[in-house]
Amino acid sequence: MHRRTLTVREVERAVAPGVRQRLWTYDGTAPGPTLHGRIGDTFVITLVNHGSMGHSVDFHAGTLAPDRPMRTIAPGQSLTYRFTATKAGIWLYHCASMPMDAHIASGMFGAVVIDPPHLPPVAHSYVLVQSELYLGPQGGTVNLAKLNAERPDEVVFNGYADQYDHAPLTAKVGQRVRSGVLDAGPDRPTSLHVVGGQFDTVYEEGSYRLRRGTTRSSRT
Amino acid sequence: MHRRTLTVREVERAVAPGVRQRLWTYDGTAPGPTLHGRIGDTFVITLVNHGSMGHSVDFHAGTLAPDRPMRTIAPGQSLTYRFTATKAGIWLYHCASMPMDAHIASGMFGAVVIDPPHLPPVAHSYVLVQSELYLGPQGGTVNLAKLNAERPDEVVFNGYADQYDHAPLTAKVGQRVRSGVLDAGPDRPTSLHVVGGQFDTVYEEGSYRLRRGTTRSSRT
Amino acid sequence: MHRRTLTVREVERAVAPGVRQRLWTYDGTAPGPTLHGRIGDTFVITLVNHGSMGHSVDFHAGTLAPDRPMRTIAPGQSLTYRFTATKAGIWLYHCASMPMDAHIASGMFGAVVIDPPHLPPVAHSYVLVQSELYLGPQGGTVNLAKLNAERPDEVVFNGYADQYDHAPLTAKVGQRVRSGVLDAGPDRPTSLHVVGGQFDTVYEEGSYRLRRGTTRSSRT
């Protein structure tokens, strides 16, 4: 049983060097906190809305209806969700209040990672959430015209422009690394590619596309 | 043997509340009628062109050459096609007359569903064809500038904006539902996601990506 | 052991009938030469920069770090790379010098084809590399404004607009054809579809998605 409170806060944050935006967040960061569990685990999540408008949370990791148990709540309210993870993967959660793309583009998204059974150990495990920045004025909110035109200023990982150029995710040659990759959008697809690296195992959309050992033996 | 006539008609239709467009259609609707069969079935389709210009039909479910058996025919003409389905899936058919994207964007597309063997029974079976609207003036034809710029006014399912918000496709909790999903475009990819739901079986591009039972047992 | 020299040359080339552009190339063509090998093969590639600015090559078929062994070299310099192919597929190589999208859009891309084991014989084998043209003035260089706006003038196969309309890749009815398909971009995804044809075998991103015989028997 995973019990967790997510608190909606509308805060000003840096999204690139020298660039500050008014974000709508879960727990003050965009993306919000990563939740982690296994198949069969139950999550009991309490959403507390400390924002200035209606917000909500829609967990793709479960099968709750967004119009009822995951409905929008007014400022000052809270709501508790309970779901059991039955399928492995990295699942989006996001605010589903309208206009939904503006809530997501303002920072209201995050990941629930449900491990498939029998995951081998790795030296490093990372989560990369891709999203877009549609920059408003300094300290201001998302630019809706850019959002409607699907013309982001930046496509970023984990909410901050080019951050891993400056502080790379590290691993030593020969180490195995696992990365959860989630595209929160709201618009752009992802084409993740590790420069100088090749994946030997890929679990995507509910099943292994590549699996070290298994895939090779089925090919030869 | 499936014998069917598809009649091209250029008609005015509602595509959103209060929005009417001059569409080019198979049998008066966009998408055109859904054809349904099994592997090994033969389809004999007669195209009748009651439109004002050359039109055609290109069936992806078969392997006919579009420049010869599936060629463009003039108004008043008809042409009969015969193909045998050898591969399962949901296959596009569309007008391939030039400019092809304008013919598709004007409504000349539809689906042929070829069932894979041994499909289990379901409570509901739906077909969702995604396409784009590039709106011209009220009662007018497709806006080619928007089409060339790939800037649709709407991305719709089964030809009408937001129709399933107003009249949802229904199922009861616990029922199994099968949906055929086809992206007719002509431009946008699809990212179909059932809010509050998760797929346990996915057949995509010729094979099962997920299969209830099989996939799970190969994972554990 | 495959030994090969790739020479960077900045040259004027036709990219469409009557349209000439200043390209940056490997060996004078865009795409550059296709390299071909098997799993376990070692490639020793020497890059010679006869261009007017820094250039480089990044081989996705291997696992060399682009910032060190595959670094940018100045005009007049050369550099030798050595990598061993451990995974099958059609892999991009491209110039990784900044601004990388401009180097790729100017022609600096190509394919390394690593065959999976036990490929059956085919009557014809083709390589199709998709890329975009962001046309500058006649005889001039890539239009950076179009590139930044992701608004290509053309999406082309093997570097020349509509070339296979005029000189089709041929096969006879009943012959088996293998096509390697690589999307060099730098921006657009590919939705390759053979008009009048259906694939019975698809090897994609490291594994078979469809395989004649195997896939069918697992379905029935």
DSSP letters spanning C52-95: SS-B--EETTS---TTTTT--B-TT-EEEEEEE--S-EEEEEE-
Tell me the β-bridge partners of A20.
A14
Residue C194: is its pLDDT beyond 80?
Answer: yes
Residue A216: is its pLDDT beyond 50?
Answer: no
State the pLDDT confidence band at C219, using cuts at 50, 70 and 90: very low
Residue C129: is its pLDDT beyond 70?
Answer: yes
pLDDT at C220: 29
Q: Which residues of C touch A197 (CB under 8 A)?
A: 63
pLDDT at B63: 87
pLDDT at C214: 66
Size of interface A-C (CB pairs under 8 A): 39
H helix runs in A67-202, sequence order: 100-105, 144-148, 163-166
Q: Which residues of B touch C218 (CB under 8 A)?
A: 207
Q: Are the beta carbons of A24 and A106 closer than 8 angstroms?
A: yes
Supply the mean pLDDT for chain A.
Answer: 93
Residue C217: is its pLDDT beyond 80?
Answer: no
Nearest to B66 among C196, C198, C199 (CB): C196
Higher-confidence residue of C174 and B9: namely: B9
Q: Verify whether the Cβ–Cβ distance C207 to A198 is below 8 Å.
A: no
Residue B30: is its pLDDT beyond 50?
Answer: yes
Q: Which of A165, A166, A193, A195 to mutate to probe the C interface, most C CBs <10 Å?
A: A195
Q: Which of C56, C63, C201 to mutate to probe the A interface, most A CBs <10 Å?
A: C63
pLDDT (average), residues C57-66: 87
pLDDT (average), residues A154-165: 96
Nearest to C197 among B63, B70, B96 (CB): B63
Task: Give the distance from residue C181's alpha carbon to the nearest chain B alpha carbon, in angstroms.
Answer: 16
Q: Verify whether the Cβ–Cβ distance A66 to B198 is below 8 Å.
A: no
Q: What percent of chain A has pLDDT over 70?
A: 96
Q: Which of B173, B204, B219 to mutate to probe the A interface, most A CBs <10 Å?
A: B219
Q: Which residues of A touch B208 (CB under 8 A)?
A: none
Residue B216: is its pLDDT beyond 60?
Answer: no
pLDDT (average), residues C149-162: 96
Q: Are the beta carbons of C53 and C18 closer than 8 angstroms?
A: no
Q: Are the beta carbons of A26 and A7 closer than 8 angstroms?
A: yes
pLDDT at C196: 83
Supply the mean pLDDT for chain B.
Answer: 93
State the pLDDT confidence band at B68, using cuts at 50, 70 and 90: confident
pLDDT (average), residues A152-167: 96
Residue B43: is its pLDDT beyond 80?
Answer: yes
H helix runs in chain A, sequence order: 100-105, 144-148, 163-166, 214-219
Q: Which residues of A touch B193 (CB under 8 A)?
A: 60
Q: Which residues of B touch C210 (CB under 8 A)?
A: 205-207
DSSP string, A34-54: PEEEETT-EEEEEEEE-SSS-
Q: Tell me which H or E stretch contains A185.
A: strand A177-185
Residue B220: is its pLDDT beyond 70?
Answer: no
pLDDT at C66: 67
pLDDT at C157: 98
Beta-carbon count within 10 A of C70 CB = 23
pLDDT (average), residues A12-30: 98
Report the distance separating Cα A38 and Cα A46, nearest Å: 20
Q: Is the pTM value of this prediction over 0.80?
A: yes
Size of interface A-B (CB pairs under 8 A): 37
